[in-house]
Amino acid sequence: MVNHITHPLVQHKLSSLRIKTTKPKEFRQLVNEIAMLLTYEVTRNLPMTEVEIETPLMSMNAPWLACLKPALISILRAGNGLLEGVLQVIPDAKVGHIGLYRDHDTLQAIEYYFKMPNKMEQRDAIVVDPMLATGHSAVAAISALKERSNPKSIQFVCILAAPEGIKELQRNHPDVEITVAGIDQGLNKNGYIFPGLGDAGDRIYGTI
Ligand code: URA
């Protein structure tokens, strides 16, 4: 399933991100804000329970999150930009990292780092990467996650997706729900999303 978030705040912030003169400081801030808004949607169906609490006036049964803390999985390095905003909304979440780089000739994802929190089989995982372009990185990261950590469920959160990337991820991992702020026209010959926003990692970290 693809959850395309068309909320006006998300769309406005996404348009600001796309503008080529947006500087890294503002770019990071916008990514942060979009991440918070997307997290609000992604966590909509987290299981709830009730616990007894004391207000200054009386005791009451109050709603409380029932799940073990979710695991946020950042695909390095651009995923870290999104991670910050998600963590602001779910500060108790545990964090895992998967390091992948894109081979410039084949556009295939090569893994160089993998580190997860404990008890992953009891956690809901939210995988974050700003750009779902060819889908190779997302597919490789989620395959590694399933094989080595087997979380209870997996969601994928990104800012921009190309139709090719969505198709590739759905073909390989039909169980993974995708939440995305924008779905663009396609990929150019270098595997960049167009109209897109350029290289998300470079724009977050000012490495252009
Ligand atoms: N990664 C990016 O950062 N941008 C793209 O357009 C595609 C992949």
CATH number of the domain bearing residue 166: 3.40.50.2020
Residue 50, in any domain of the structure:
no
Nearest to 41 by CA among 81, 82, 10: 10
Q: What are 5-49's pLDDT values in tens digits?
A: 999 999 999 999 999 999 999 999 999 999 999 999 999 988 899
Q: What are 42-74's pLDDT values in tens digits?
A: 999 888 999 999 999 999 999 999 877 899 999
Please work out whether the CB of residue 133 comes within 6 Å of at least one atom of ligand 1: yes
Ligand 1 pocket test: pick from 188, 197, 202 the residue with the most ligand atoms within 8 Å of its Cβ.
197
Residue 31, in any domain of the structure:
yes
pTM value?
0.94
Please work out whether the CB of residue 132 comes within 6 Å of at least one atom of ligand 1: no
Based on the number of CB atoms within 10 Å of its own CB, is 202 exposed (0-12), middle (13-18) or buried (19 or more)? middle
Residue 52, in any domain of the structure:
no
Residue 118, in any domain of the structure:
yes
Domain membership of residue 108 as a residue range: 2-45+71-205
Q: What are 89-136's pLDDT values in tens digits?
A: 999 999 999 999 878 788 778 999 999 999 999 999 999 999 999 999
Assess contact for 127 and 155: CB atoms under 8 A: yes
Domain count, the chain: 1
Amino acid at 145: L
Rg (CA), the chain: 18
Show the tokens assigned to 138.
Answer: 């997302």
Nearest to 116 by CA among 149, 92, 83: 149
